[in-house]
Amino acid sequence: MVMWSSLSEWFWQDRFWLPPNNTWALLEDRDGLVFAHPRDLLAALPLALALVVMRFTFERFVGLPLSRLLGVRDQARKPVKPNATLEKYFLTKGWKPKEPQMALLAAQCGLTLQQTQRWFRRRRNQDRPCLTKKFCEASWRFSFYACAFFGGLSILYHESWLWRPEMCWDNYPVQPLKPALYCWYLLELSFYISLLMTLPFDVRRKDFKEQVAHHFVTIILISFSYSSNLLRIGSLVLLLHDASDYLLEAGKMFNYTPWRKVCDTLFIVFSLVFFYTRLVLFPTRILYTTYYDSIAQWDTFFGYYFCNALLMALQLLHVFWSCLILRMIYSFVKKGRMEKDVRSDVEESDSSDGEVAQEHLLLKNGAAHRPGVAPADGPRSRLVGRVANGHTATT
């Protein structure tokens, strides 16, 4: 206990987290004024658990019926024949064996190479989440982000620092805590903690590591900004993020439905809002004021560097996701419609591109003239030729 007390006392030194010549004593509650205290954040843990329960309840009783109403249909999957050898390899060594290893496994199991490849494709599909699950997750996030954005906007609308970010530093750090801002801040922190808690059960996307990094940076930023009474600038960061997040989740919801035009429209609106808030407003208004306006009256201190380092990490993630969005925009312009989220793991068909190309090669070499093989000028051959030449879109 003595060691913990000493460590806590060292960690919360004034010179680390507050501007020079300011102490924590200035932020003690007095004369009816309430200030932010780090211990207040402990309430986020039980609230995060409550949000997890709310999420699964929402997905079961709201998201699932809504998915059926909007026409979400899960693709029928062919069952995988039990095979102990292939299953052991799949679980211990990987989902996608190389062709030499695939041939070795085929020989061990008495199967052809194509049968072994088909088994692995079906087995991979078996572990992929269905569209209904993806829709339910997106509907929960959409509901939260929409409520958080419009709720936060209503709280900040009449605050001077929403329209003039330099006002975030007016009389800092002696800025009393407003109850509505505290509730909104605590709810946002609880939500991101709940996202980390449910990561093992969520749909795993290709930007999984970036998502985890984003959640950690956001949780640290919220906790640090609250503890250092930086709620004004922290609230602007949260609002800018929520402004595009609910549009993203809405677009993902309709991407899983037959409502293609609605999905395409939402994607365009989301892209415009994302680029404006994350690549224009965030660096020019948020980063600028934290780098320059924040130290107009004081010298730099550790909290200044720590805060700006985390904000720069967020900006790097913004650039990463902007590149993904640009790839989707390129696909959208080229094909005239939204195909899919580039972060998603796409379900595979029973016939892979390699098998189709191999069949086309056999047909070109005259194998189609053997007994039991379709003639080279038949409809199946023409279809294979079109696929091999890239005239038919793969699924």
196 and 322: one domain?
A: yes
- The answer on pLDDT for 138 being more than 80 is yes
207 and 118: one domain?
A: no
173 and 259: one domain?
A: yes
Instruction: Look at residue 259 in the predicted model and tell me its pLDDT.
Output: 92
- The answer on pLDDT for 289 being more than 90 is yes
182 and 218: one domain?
A: yes
Q: How big is the CA angle at 107 (ends 101 and 110), to the nearest 5 degrees?
A: 135
- pLDDT per residue over 220-235, tens digit each? 999 999 999 999 999 9
Q: How big is the CA angle at 56 (ends 51 and 60), to the nearest 5 degrees?
A: 140
- The answer on pLDDT for 365 being more than 60 is no
- 388 inside domain: no
Q: Considering only 68-82, 146-160, 364-378, which range has the smallest mean pLDDT?
A: 364-378
**Quick one: average pLDDT of 47-51?**
97
**Quick one: average pLDDT of 160-175?**
94
Instruction: Look at residue 346 in the predicted model and tell me its pLDDT.
Output: 53
145 vs 360: which has the higher pLDDT:
145
| CA distances (Å), origin 285, targets 6, 175, 296 | 39, 21, 16
- 20 inside domain: no
Instruction: Look at residue 166 in the predicted model and tell me its pLDDT.
Output: 94
Cα 158 from Cα 57, distance rounded (Å):
35
Cα 235 from Cα 196, distance rounded (Å):
21
- The answer on pLDDT for 122 being more than 80 is yes
Instruction: Look at residue 4 in the predicted model and tell me its pLDDT.
Output: 84
- 365 inside domain: no
Instruction: Look at residue 41 in the predicted model and tell me its pLDDT.
Output: 94
Q: pLDDT over 70 for what percent of the chain? A: 85
Q: Determine the angle formed by the axes of helices 131-156 and 231-255, rounding to 10 degrees.
A: 150
Which range has the top average pLDDT, 199-203, 312-316, 333-337? 312-316
Local confidence band at 340 (pLDDT 50, 70, 90 cut-offs): low
CATH number at residue 106: 1.10.10.60
Full residue range of the structural domain in which residue 134 is found: 28-69+130-335
Local confidence band at 218 (pLDDT 50, 70, 90 cut-offs): very high
- 4 inside domain: no
Instruction: Look at residue 91 in the predicted model and tell me its pLDDT.
Output: 84
110 and 144: one domain?
A: no
Number of domains making up the chain: 2
- The answer on pLDDT for 79 being more than 60 is yes
Cα 124 from Cα 87, distance rounded (Å):
11
- Is pTM beyond 0.85 here? no
| Domain final residue pick, 317, 335, 353 | 335
Instruction: Look at residue 364 in the predicted model and tell me its pLDDT.
Output: 44
**Quick one: average pLDDT of 27-49?**
94
Local confidence band at 387 (pLDDT 50, 70, 90 cut-offs): very low
